[in-house]
Chain A
């Protein structure tokens, strides 16, 4: 069975996206672009979740039998390493298994992000009606 490549690539891209999002929110002057930047931030976290859900079997392979052995009464690390191999032999983990938890979370979060964006765009419309512009520099009447 082919073992997929490391999740590091996906995690790196997600971190890069997050950086791009932060840069967008911090530097852009157009309100719409700020909203887009926030969308990028949220979606970077989504990508992280999806990438990690495909690699959950590694986590389980690493830690699952510790919980089992601990509940069975083995708490000594050397004993654990000894018996750990036996347990791994009995539990077969399927590397193609993708965890549905992260997917359900991401789908819910996409819906929430949609609501947040709708509220944000409503604010942008209201701001445009007041100021006649989308430039954030021109409307900073509030003290920082």
Chain B
């Protein structure tokens, strides 16, 4: 369904506000002795709030479209795809069209039918809106938190500008409907993330960590670009829907399978997994993360760990699930737990070509298991609080990878459910670590022992976040981890290699149990250890501007633990989008 440019407001609004912040900040630094500088922070927070509002309205647009689609299918049998899209840059398409029809003398009808569009599209569905909501929500919280946390820093105008651009680029990644748009926003996100990591450039650590992040991220991006060029060479288009259709059609209908059914696919899949995996920090390419997270300002650590690494997971999931659907998952993905139970399908008997053996989910299993093992061991060895939390992020990326690798409705739902839960809890933990760093000036665990009683609100929230990530039942992390384990067990009887999925379930349970070791150590250090010298010297009360965002996140952990249904159903709709890829194609074509 074609929509207007208001669909892009979650991308445009943060960019406009970034320009506003830059202008206002630059002016107010020079006038009135810098007393009006808080205006810049207020403008940035307003920008995030308005962006959240637009995401909310887009979500309800999708809900109404869903209702119309259900009604239409049940009463008239006409299927309306639940995707909003906006095509930009259509000039290339019409120029080519004019050339082919008027100069080359082609039949325009045949040309319209055969030629894929060269224009680029934004396509918004429930998966996009789930991711965008997580990005912007955490962005808003980090922005409020940074008002106090960054009070002694200089160059804050640039900080808020880059933060707004970071969120705009992440929303762009979530809304991208073709590889071109995805890559452009991926690079913009990368540039602002490298710069924010190296923000405190007068110290050696952020600069070196930022450069390391840059080198690994740029090599990863170049791998993605190489994969995109190969996909383009095989299909002649960059649009997700057209590529997916052509790859799927070619599997059954192409008698000369040597061109499209070739082994180049495996190279493309590996390049995509490694390229996006650098941003997602899966283990062989994770080494930037434990350096970049401690070196960045704590708000940015929360953004990086909560959402920036999730864009890698999202891009990987979107490109792999839509372009190269997994074999064998098809008959068992139709049942979903949210209404409508029997989803209307654009191709009711299944999309032709799903029999082609794309089994990249086994590659994800290998990466996921290695990630779990390495992250667990390394997290136990850390003395630095933020470094420990960074390894905990890698661990949770391993859980998400295993959920995605199952590839059924339950597995993908669990992966996105855990993605959002981890964004909330890890955002909380990094913001809490920032409070400790801000008050004691150290992030070593030995210096922070017994700080719990000095900063009660932050430390209570910190404990809740730790327990949530550990997977203690009334909190949100428990449900998503349990669903990852259960989905692997449920899937195992349906494939010949069932033992692999039983092993995945076992390894997930074991890794989760081992991770309790370092989470409990955190709790012990913060609450139950004798106070260190630095903590004894601490006599300031904790700042409410910093404690409030943390308390809100802790409240979210508890609320979504007691009542997980809102996030769960959104994750389930997101999984439906990924798995019913034929519906996605129908929405754009």
**Contact (Cβ within 8 A) A45 B222:** yes
In the complex, what's the smallest C-beta–C-beta distance from A67 to chain B, in angstroms? 6
Given A41-B219, A56-B236, A63-B254, does the pair A115, B191 have CB atoms closer than 8 Å?
yes
CB-defined interface of B32-72 with A at 8 Å, one 1/0 digit per residue?
Answer: 00000000000000000000000000000000000000000
List chain B residues, Cβ under 8 A from A56. 236
| Distance between Cα atoms of A103 and B349 in the complex (Å) | 39
In the complex, what's the smallest C-beta–C-beta distance from A72 to chain B, in angstroms? 9
**Contact (Cβ within 8 A) B218 A64:** no
| Distance between Cα atoms of A122 and B295 in the complex (Å) | 17
In the complex, what's the smallest C-beta–C-beta distance from B546 to chain A, in angstroms? 27
**Contact (Cβ within 8 A) B198 A92:** no
**Contact (Cβ within 8 A) A100 B113:** no
Please give me the residue from chain A that is nearest to B194 by CB atom. Answer: A119
**Contact (Cβ within 8 A) A101 B238:** yes
Q: Which residues in chain A, 49-107, are within 8 Å of chain B measured between CB atoms?
A: 49, 52-53, 55-56, 59-60, 62-68, 70-71, 75, 77, 80-81, 90-92, 94, 97, 99-102, 104-105
**Contact (Cβ within 8 A) A52 B204:** no
Question: Interface residues, chain A, CB within 8 Å of chain B?
Answer: 7, 11, 14, 18, 21-22, 25, 31, 34, 38, 41-42, 44-46, 48-49, 52-53, 55-56, 59-60, 62-68, 70-71, 75, 77, 80-81, 90-92, 94, 97, 99-102, 104-105, 108-109, 112, 115-116, 119-120, 123-124, 126-127, 130-131, 139, 141-144
List chain B residues, Cβ under 8 A from A116. 187, 190-191, 214, 218, 221
Residue of A70, A75, A112 most packed against chain B (CB within 10 A) = A112
The verdict on B208 contacting chain A, using a C-beta distance below 8 Å, is yes
| Distance between Cα atoms of A67 and B198 in the complex (Å) | 49
Question: Interface residues, chain B, CB within 8 Å of chain A?
Answer: 89, 92, 95-96, 99-100, 104-107, 110-111, 113-115, 118, 180, 183-184, 187-188, 190-191, 194-195, 198, 201, 204-205, 207-212, 214-215, 218-219, 221-222, 225-226, 228-230, 232-238, 245-246, 249-250, 252-256, 259-260, 287, 290-291, 352
| Distance between Cα atoms of A70 and B100 in the complex (Å) | 23
Partner of A120, one of B95, B214, B249: B214
**Contact (Cβ within 8 A) B254 A66:** yes
**Contact (Cβ within 8 A) B236 A70:** no
Partner of B255, one of A81, A99, A120: A81
List chain A residues, Cβ under 8 A from B249. 63, 66-67, 70
**Contact (Cβ within 8 A) A123 B211:** yes
Please give me the residue from chain A that is nearest to B227 by CB atom. Answer: A45
**Contact (Cβ within 8 A) A52 B229:** yes
| Distance between Cα atoms of A38 and B256 in the complex (Å) | 37
In the complex, what's the smallest C-beta–C-beta distance from A91 to chain B, in angstroms? 6
| Distance between Cα atoms of A14 and B232 in the complex (Å) | 15
Partner of B114, one of A41, A65, A75: A65
| Distance between Cα atoms of A141 and B205 in the complex (Å) | 8
**Interface pairs (27), CB distance under 8 Å:** A7-B233, A11-B233, A38-B218, A42-B221, A46-B229, A49-B228, A52-B229, A55-B233, A59-B235, A62-B260, A63-B249, A66-B249, A67-B113, A67-B249, A70-B249, A91-B110, A97-B99, A97-B104, A101-B238, A102-B229, A104-B92, A116-B218, A119-B214, A126-B207, A127-B207, A130-B208, A139-B208
| Distance between Cα atoms of A32 and B426 in the complex (Å) | 35
**Contact (Cβ within 8 A) A123 B184:** no
Given A112-B188, A127-B208, does the pair A25, B253 have CB atoms closer than 8 Å?
no
Partner of B236, one of A59, A66, A115: A59
| Distance between Cα atoms of A66 and B353 in the complex (Å) | 13
**Contact (Cβ within 8 A) A130 B188:** no
**Contact (Cβ within 8 A) A99 B211:** no
| Distance between Cα atoms of A104 and B92 in the complex (Å) | 9
Given A68-B113, A123-B210, does the pair A104, B89 have CB atoms closer than 8 Å?
yes
**Contact (Cβ within 8 A) A38 B211:** no
Sorted from nearest, which 6 A-B pairs have the closest CB atoms?
A52-B233, A41-B222, A48-B229, A45-B225, A64-B114, A59-B236
In the complex, what's the smallest C-beta–C-beta distance from B221 to chain A, in angstroms? 8
| Distance between Cα atoms of A11 and B262 in the complex (Å) | 16
| Distance between Cα atoms of A115 and B187 in the complex (Å) | 9
Please give me the residue from chain A that is nearest to B186 by CB atom. Answer: A112
**Contact (Cβ within 8 A) B226 A64:** no
**Contact (Cβ within 8 A) A80 B214:** no
Chain A contact residues, majority secondary structure = helix
Given A38-B222, A104-B92, A123-B211, does the pair A67, B180 have CB atoms closer than 8 Å?
no
Residue of A44, A60, A105 most packed against chain B (CB within 10 A) = A105
**Contact (Cβ within 8 A) B232 A119:** no
List chain B residues, Cβ under 8 A from A126. 198, 201, 207
In the complex, what's the smallest C-beta–C-beta distance from B139 to chain A, in angstroms? 21
In the complex, what's the smallest C-beta–C-beta distance from B286 to chain A, in angstroms? 11
List chain B residues, Cβ under 8 A from A44. 222, 226
List chain B residues, Cβ under 8 A from A70. 249, 253
Given A90-B107, A119-B194, A124-B211, does the pair A45, B226 have CB atoms closer than 8 Å?
yes
Residue of A25, A56, A142 most packed against chain B (CB within 10 A) = A142
Residue of B183, B226, B260 most packed against chain A (CB within 10 A) = B226
**Contact (Cβ within 8 A) B114 A38:** no
**Contact (Cβ within 8 A) A141 B208:** yes
| Distance between Cα atoms of A85 and B290 in the complex (Å) | 58
**Contact (Cβ within 8 A) A77 B255:** yes
Given A60-B114, A66-B254, A77-B255, does the pair A142, B208 have CB atoms closer than 8 Å?
yes
List chain B residues, Cβ under 8 A from A14. 229
Please give me the residue from chain A that is nearest to B217 by CB atom. Answer: A116
| Distance between Cα atoms of A64 and B235 in the complex (Å) | 10
**Contact (Cβ within 8 A) B233 A48:** yes
List chain A residues, Cβ under 8 A from B219. 22, 25, 38, 41
| Distance between Cα atoms of A116 and B226 in the complex (Å) | 17
Please give me the residue from chain A that is nearest to B291 by CB atom. Answer: A142
**Contact (Cβ within 8 A) B225 A109:** yes
**Contact (Cβ within 8 A) B211 A127:** yes
List chain A residues, Cβ under 8 A from B260. 62-63
| Distance between Cα atoms of A99 and B229 in the complex (Å) | 13
List chain B residues, Cβ under 8 A from A11. 233
In the complex, what's the smallest C-beta–C-beta distance from B486 to chain A, in angstroms? 37
List chain A residues, Cβ under 8 A from B195. 119
List chain A residues, Cβ under 8 A from B218. 38, 41-42, 116, 120
